[in-house]
Amino acid sequence: MRSPIRFALAVAGLALSFGCGAAMAATPPSTGLGQAWPNAVDASTSPNYHVYVFERHGVRYVQVNDAAGVVRAAVQYTATGNPDTTAISGLPIGSDSANVVTPTEGTLDPAQPAGEQVYSDDTVTVTASKSPTGTVSLLAVPVDCKNPAECSVRGP
């Protein structure tokens, strides 16, 4: 026979955790970028990575850590409302910060294995791809990008 008190506590705990998660997701923290285990909600869509989102003065920062908590890379962007002018750039944070590809920096390596989406919101989609050597490449493109290879090629 189950205890009614245990059941009530379990239901209250679930309600509290859903409420806190929704509140925290609505307002990302403004501190903790670069930390292995920041005090932020894990927004990852993949079980292989941890993704933490921060926001300060209208700029959003997305940090990608591996499953062990090692900071791999981070990107920043400012949503302009126009997908053609959404500015996305890599940050000098993490062991793989040199492997960030955005519409204006870096290039996709055709030999790189297909990645997995680790984060997406109304503005940007972030994909992580682990190479056989263990490095991780991050591809960050506007959410309306239908072909990441085209969206990440720099013009002349």
What are the structure tokens assigned to 105, written together?
């920096």
Residues ≥6 apart with Cβ < 8 Å to 109: 137
Q: What span, in angstroms and rounded, lies between the C-alpha atoms of 73 and 7?
A: 42
Q: Which of 116, 117, 118, 139 is nearest to 44 (CA)?
A: 118
pLDDT on residue 9: 40
pLDDT on residue 77: 94
pLDDT on residue 66: 96
pLDDT on residue 87: 87
Q: What span, in angstroms and rounded, lies between the C-alpha atoms of 156 and 147?
A: 19
Q: Compute mean pLDDT per 10 residues along the chain, 156 residues long, and list them.
A: 45 39 62 94 96 94 96 89 75 96 82 85 92 90 74 52
